Amino acid sequence: MSESGRRRAAFATLAALLPLTLLTAVAVGSVRLPLVPLLGSLGLPVGARLTPPADTILWSVRLPRVLLAAVVGGGLAVVGAALQSVFRNPMADAGLLGVGPGAAFGAVLAVRSGVSETFLGLPASAFAGAMTASLAVYVLARATGRATLAGLLLTGLAVSAIAAAGTSLLLVATEEFRVKAVLFWLAGGLEGRGWPHLRLAAAAIVAGSALLLALARPLDVLALGEEEAASLGLRVHLTRVAILGVASLIAGAATAASGSVPFVGLIAPHALRPAVGPLTRHLLPAAFLAGAALVVVADLGARTLSDRLDLPLGSLTAFIGAPYFLFALRAQEEQQS
Amino acid sequence: MSLVLEARELRVRRGERTVIDGVSLALAAGQAVALVGPNAAGKSTLVRALAGLLPAESGGVWLRGKPLAAWTRSALAREVALVAAEDEGASALAVEDRVALGRYPHLGPFRPPGPEDRQAIGRALRMTGIEPLARRRVGRLSAGERQLAALARGLAQEPGVLLLDEPAAHLDVRHQLELFRILDEVRAAGVAVLAVVHDLQRAAAWAERMLLLADGRIAGDGPPRDVLASEACARAFGVSVRAHAVPGLPQPLYSFEEPQSSSSDAPKSGLPPSEV
């Protein structure tokens, strides 16, 4: 198949897959919503509607949660794709680079200090944490020369460890009635999330993703390497910091909504690059769709795999993502040798 | 000939070390210049300073009579292109997309490419002879083809000055000949071409002018046969250089010997040393 044919096929698959997963995730749960009336309640002319209690479940519980999962997944995947360009490394990811743990630290700090009870307190704090961590990794990895895979991962590891240590410290110092809220942050999850969360997260994530898409060409130039990018007239540092800022905005908003959901940003762009190619204007939209579908499915698993309790969403993505990461790392090293 | 790029008493530091130490040179439009010198002479640093990628500690570089600092980055990138030895960064890109990024200085972040951009990309692919590889991924190319793709990106910039850092490194002889033939065409189109060339024989065959850099200073500047015959050249490389006229070749062939054998007799080729 030709390259553009392959790309079209990938987009067609993703465009079909996402509505399918959304619909499945809305229909399946502790209360199963029958498909035809469900479509009727969603506004399709099928001549049937859900019963009023089921309709309430759909509109006030299921739908906002599923859409939030999609937005969070899409946002994290876009961040992963952008970071992979900035760091010129196909294995970069918000979690591995300390952005996720930084956002989590910011969020926990907000819960601990009570800032989270103010409007925007939590998301703003998560954003600040994400931005601080990503800048720290960027500056520290650069100080050791080119951001190599090893240097980058190790720097990200160190910064993540500091963020995690800070989080533990806060956890110990947190009043008991808040500990549950903090733990929820660390494991990641979408329980009890509704329209207000969705509105806030969607605004930041959609706007941020659109901004990154607008910066597609600078991102492509940046991926050529610092010297070539500068010789093509790109303001390398300014562009990198701007992209890290937008990426932190998205990662902060996603983390504020769902806690930490690791590996999505690594898997989605990494898996799609062979199909859609490395150009940002193709990769970002594809990664968004794939990341959205991935987290919707993972959240469906979190809700339904156990009938007694909601499983932590972040643990599920880590269970899928960590083996994938090891597999991809090995493949990359084999390719290099 | 009109001067395009000029360095005056240029001094460049890298860390603690002064790598370029008072270099003055001028490039004219349509000139082919080979920059040669022993390892660590500062060739790569000089090329990057000329491209405006490294700041001058003192002295400076003038492009079309205006100091580099007075040019915006994108205006500078429309005038000066730098092509270095290829690394792995672009390996997932298709050749054509890689070359198209050479239009960045003309398009900036947001403007969509127009007909003149597509023409420039097409011309660059044709000139470098890699049009049939346009949709191939860079990572799938041979080292020679990859270098040609990097050159095509530089040509797509449509610069007035083309700077190359060891463009022929890792290339087999056929690709070397091809590369320098392309550079000749570029020069003939009025572009000032300055290339760091490791192979002195190749440099002499290609360039009309040779710049010899040693310890960060210009130690020779002139026609290749004069520079190669100079005492400064022998000192810079720590070898003795002999030119051998070969009937039917426009250029002499050169042989190089370590100093201890420099006083010995006839060259191995069996040809009599010529006057240079």
What distance in Å separates the CA atoms of residue A312 and residue A6, rounded to the nearest whole number? 35
Residue A257 lies in a domain: yes
Residue B191 lies in a domain: yes
Are residues B24 and B51 located together in one domain of the fold? yes
What distance in Å separates the CA atoms of residue A134 and residue B98, rounded to the nearest whole number? 28
What distance in Å separates the CA atoms of residue B159 and residue B4, rounded to the nearest whole number? 11
Among B residues 133-162, those touching chain A with beta carbons less than 8 Å apart? 135, 157
Q: What residue numbers bound the domain in which A97 lies? A: 62-336
Q: Do A215 and B107 touch (CB under 8 A)?
A: no
Are residues B23 and B126 located together in one domain of the fold? yes
Are residues B21 and B49 located together in one domain of the fold? yes
* Closest Cα in chain A, distance from residue B91 (Å): 9
β-strand B32-36 against B192-196: which pairing, if any? parallel
Closest Cβ–Cβ partner in A218, A223, A231 for B82: A231
Q: What residue numbers bound the domain in which B133 lies? A: 3-224
**How much is the pLDDT for A101?**
84
- Residue scoring higher pLDDT (B88 or A129): A129
Q: Which residue, among B196, B187, B98, has the nearest Cα to B150 in the 3D structure?
A: B98
**How much is the pLDDT for A144?**
63
Q: Which of B104, B135, B162 to mutate to test binding with chain A, by most A CBs within 10 Å of its CB?
A: B104
- Residue scoring higher pLDDT (A178 or A274): A274
Are residues B43 and B175 located together in one domain of the fold? yes
ipTM over 0.95: no
Are residues B173 and B258 located together in one domain of the fold? no
Residue A9 lies in a domain: no
- Report the domain count for chain B: 2
Of A76-90, A128-142, B165-179, B210-224, highest mean pLDDT: B210-224
- Residue scoring higher pLDDT (A263 or A92): A263
**SS3 track for B186-244:** HHHCCCEEEEECCCHHHHHHHCCEEEEEECCEEEEEECHHHHHHCHHHHHHHCCEEEEE
Are residues B262 and B177 located together in one domain of the fold? no
Residue A21 lies in a domain: no
Residue A318 lies in a domain: yes
What distance in Å separates the CA atoms of residue A148 and residue A125, rounded to the nearest whole number? 30
Are residues B76 and B139 located together in one domain of the fold? yes
Residue with tokens 């790109």: A234
**How much is the pLDDT for A310?**
81
* Closest Cα in chain A, distance from residue B17 (Å): 18
pLDDT (tens digit, 9 = 90+) per residue, A268-288?
A: 999 999 899 999 999 999 999
Contacts of B157 in chain A (CB under 8 A): 232
Q: Is the pLDDT of residue B260 over 70?
A: no
The reply to whether B105 touches chain A by the CB within 8 Å rule is yes
The reply to whether B24 touches chain A by the CB within 8 Å rule is no
- Report the domain count for chain A: 1
Are residues B66 and B35 located together in one domain of the fold? yes
Residue B233 lies in a domain: no
Residue A108 lies in a domain: yes
Are residues B243 and B167 located together in one domain of the fold? no
Percent with pLDDT over 70 in chain A:
96
Question: Chain A to chain B, count of Cβ pairs less than 8 Å apart?
Answer: 69
* Closest Cα in chain A, distance from residue B220 (Å): 28
Q: Is the pLDDT of residue B267 over 50?
A: no
Are residues B179 and B265 located together in one domain of the fold? no
Are residues B270 and B203 located together in one domain of the fold? no
pLDDT (tens digit, 9 = 90+) per residue, B120-133?
A: 999 999 999 999 99
Residue A282 lies in a domain: yes
**How much is the pLDDT for A308?**
82
Are residues B127 and B243 located together in one domain of the fold? no
**How much is the pLDDT for B131?**
95
State the CATH number of the domain containing residue B162. 3.40.50.300
**How much is the pLDDT for A147?**
53
Residue A28 lies in a domain: no
Residue B232 lies in a domain: no
Residue B269 lies in a domain: yes
Q: Is the pLDDT of residue B197 over 80?
A: yes
pLDDT (tens digit, 9 = 90+) per residue, B214-226?
A: 999 999 999 999 9
State the CATH number of the domain containing residue A169. 1.10.3470.10
Residue A308 lies in a domain: yes
The reply to whether B7 touches chain A by the CB within 8 Å rule is no
Contacts of A81 in chain B (CB under 8 A): none
> What integer is the mean pLDDT of A290-306?
94
